[in-house]
Structures are given as structure tokens and as C-alpha cells.
Structure 1
Amino acid sequence: MQPATSDAERVAIGIAAARRTRRLGWWYVAEQRIRAMRSYVGTWIGLGLASPFLYVAGLGFGLAIVVNDAQGGQDVGGADFLLFLAPALVLGSAMQTAAQESTYGVFGGFRWVPIFLAMRSSPVSPAQMVVGYTIGTLVRVMPAAVVYVAAIWILGVTGSSRALWLVPIALLLVLAVALPVTAWAAHQEHDRGQLNVIDRFVTLPLMLFSGTYFPLETLPIALQWIGWISPLWHAVDLGRWALYGAEVPAWLLATHVAVLVGFATVGLLAAVRVFRRRLDL
């Protein structure tokens, strides 16, 4: 029979737990998010394994044949079209997943399944909620990015180990997209259909106007500005340099990284501010 715990001991245990939560709150939030993903892990794995091969094989080989015939066998952007397209497929998928996770998941955390409101009664801070949730999104995207890279290898697009650089670039893009979207979604108090705006009027146009399926320079100058402000274009251009050594000036490489980091930083600050306001902290 264990001795009864005194009131002083219980208080000490509670204080220790509160201090641990204040220190590791971001990890507890990430753990909760990762555990919540188990409810759709079957669909996640199925789509995560099938989609990369279908996109690379379908869009890549099918569209590549048409483009190569139209180009008379000439390279696109300094590379075979399939190689040119590969980074866009990897990074475009990462952007779309990050936006979806940060839209419905964040809004639902305030309205449908108010887990963030429950966390408010604990020592977890709004900043830890944002960081922990974003880590969960990174965990959601990383396996798909790895499978995309594997598909690129297996289908013979490239045999170079440089393709591995697409994974950290994808994670940086996730931060640049997920954090601003998190700030926007946390600001929404009612669902009037506006949650579809990100998918229909942000991620989809960015897929079309960010130099993904064709070089950005081929667009009219009046439309190229969309790519210049698009985190996807900066990530894809960086990915092409990393994958096959596309000719990108050093100043532009630095700009790509700076823009992605800038999106992530501003998004983080904005998301934390909105979380604090919503939680009245």
C-alpha cells in the first residue's frame, strides 16, 4: 500500500508539471496534432504513396512528350522538361497540403473542435500553440515530400542525390505558407464559405503563375509579378538550382531564401498576435 500524498507534495507536483508545460508546451501541442492525424492516417498514407507516382508519371511523362515535341527536342529552362517539372510537383504538393492543414485545422481548433480554447486553461502560451501546430503540419508534409523524391528516382527522372535537397526546401516552403495562412484562418470567426478562398484563389493561381509548368519569363510582364511575390516560385526556382544546377545568380538564390524566411517570420508574428487576441491573453 502506497503512502498517501500530502497536500504539499501534490502542490509541488502541480508546480513542476506547470513549469514543464511552460517549457515544453510547443511539443505537447505538436504531439496532440500528430496523434489527431491518426484518424485519417490510412487516407494520408494511401494518397501520400500513390499521388507522387501518378503525378510524376502522368503529368511528367505525358505532358513531357507534348512539350518536347512542341520544343523540337530543345530543353526547357536549361533541362529536360520532366526534370524541369519535378521540383514544381514536389513543392506544389507541399504548398497545397500546408495551406489545407493550416486553414480547416486552425479554424476548426477554434470553432468545430475548440482544442485551442481548451489549451487556454493550461500554461501553454499562444506562441507555443502556433509553433506546435506548425510542427504538426511539417510532420504531415515531410513523408509526402520524401515519397515524391523517391518517385523521381524510381521513375528515372534523376539518379542524383541532389534531389534530397527538395525535402528541406519543401519544409521551408511549408513554413512560408502555413504560418501566414494560420494567421488568416485564426482571424476567421465564422464559416461562411471563405475557407475555400485559400484553395481556389491563392494556391491554385500560384500553381499556374509561379513558373511551375513553364518558365516564369514566358508569361507577359503584366503577370510575372504574381510569381515574384509567390513563395512557390521562390521555392521552385531554388529547387531547380538544387536539383540539376539551373543557372540562378547568387543574389537571386539569397533573395529566394530571404523571401521564404520573411514570409515565415511575418506569418509567425501575425499568427501569434491573432491567437493572443482570440484567446484573450
Structure 2
Amino acid sequence: MVTRNQTQTLLTEFLLLGFGDLQDFKILLFIVFLIIHIMALTSNILVVALVVFIRSLHSPMYIFISQLSLSEIIFTSNIVPNMLWLILVGGGKVSIARCIFQFFLLAFPTVAQCLLLASMSFDRYVAICKPLHYATIMTFGQQVRIVSSCWLVGFTASFILYVLLGSLQFCGPDTINHFYCDISPVVELSCSKNPSVELVTSVLCFPLVVCPFMFITSTYISILHNILKIPSTTGRQKAFSTCSSHLTVVCLYYGSLGSIYIFPPNKSSFNITKGLSLLYTLVTPLVNPLIYSLRNQEIRGVINTFIHL
């Protein structure tokens, strides 16, 4: 701690409680969460590696999938190792600087992923609704611009929030009843209330989270309308299959994201909040690559080829 004006003590650390109420099961939780984390990390790294090194997967859809997996790698690597440490020690202290940086590494891939999911819906829209123009619209240069923009916007928005949170001062209390540093509990603990933090968060949330979801919804309405006009049953089934994996991931991702940030449970329901956060930070990064690999014949074919070598 440091002292200001001889009267007010400023904090330099937060206490993360983690899963303190489940310490009787800490070994079991640690093993289960570690296994899920290793599986999630391995499957996402595998997807990125396949798309990078297999020439047949150098198409827009798979490039977007690899970027989605890359965002999951950053996201889960930021949250889960520290969570496992908190489980073993029954909660622990973290410096305020590190806590705020953890939020930055949480927000960065989250925003990028929202924009990547919207970009993937645009790719599916062009493929189904404008198939004759697909090659001219989704050129390699266009893919690079789209992907770079998603990451750049995600970094910029997260860095703005990082700077604003870094300007806050904390006098106590110092306890966060969670297993990672999120923006809401950090702002609540601040003794130098800065309304611009919440204002900027709200302003950024609409174009970077809500608007991509609205865009995805509108593109799939158009896609559905065009699919229903396909005369053959086989053609409709093929068109649906190209979108089902992406739509499943969108529902899972925005469902978990919305339950935490857009329609959060009551602040007194800490166990519910932690459970939803576990779904968002641990389960979703594992399920996403499995959905793409298990439901995609080309990726399954490449994996089977490597297995039988």
C-alpha cells in the first residue's frame, strides 16, 4: 500500500476470492478444469495449425475460423491458469496493475471475436446469396483487411478502457468475489469515481458487441430467405449445413456473453455469476473448435489423413 496526503491509504493489490466456498473439492476442480483447459488449448492450436499449413484450407471461411481459434487461445490462456492457481491456494492477491492488464487481455479477444463472428456471417451471406460474385468480393486482400480490422478495433477499444481503468485509484475495500478481474467489480472498488469509464464502456458496447449481433441476425434472415427459394431439398440442406456450425457458435457465444454482461444475474448471486463465467471462459473455448471440426467434412478429412499417416 501507499499513502496519499497522510490520511488516505491507496491500495496496490486486490484479493481475488476465486472458489473459496468450494475448497473441499479443490483437487477435483483443479483436475477437471485443467483437463478442459488443455483440451481447449490443444484443439484451438490444432485448428490454427491446420489452416496455416494445409493449402486446401486457405479459403475465407477457414481463415476466419483460425482467427476465431486464435482469439480463444489468447482468451483462455489469460484467464484459466490464474484461475487454477486460485483454486489451489483458496484465493490470492493480485496487483492492481496486473488485474487491469488481465481485463485488457480479456476485452481484446472478446471484441475481436464479436467482429470476427460478424465477418463470418458476411462470408456466408456472400457465399449463399451472391455465389457468382464470391471470388471477386472475398479476395485474399479483402480477407486480410477484414481480419486486421477486427483485431485492430479490438485492441484499440480495449486499450482505451485499459487506460481509463489505470487512471482510477483504490482505497478499499480490496476484495473481488470472482476468479478473474472484470471491469464491473474493479470500477466498484474505486474511490476515485470516474463517470467516463462507465460512459465509454456503454458507448463502446453498442457498436462493438450489440451491432455485430444485429448484423449477424440480419444477414441470417437474408440467408434463410434465399435458402427457402432453392428448389431442391438437397440444395437447401447443403446451404443450411454451411451455416449451421457458425450459427451454433454464435448462439453459444452470445448466449454466454449476454448472460454475464447484457442481462447479468443479481449481484448477490455470486455463485450463478461464477457458473456463467465458467461457461464463458472454460467451456466455450473448448466447444467452438469441436463444433467446427466435428461438423466440417473438410477439416475432419484433414485430421483423419494425419491420424492415418
**TM-score, length-normalised on structure 2?**
0.29
**TM-score, length-normalised on structure 1?**
0.31
More strand, by proportion: 2
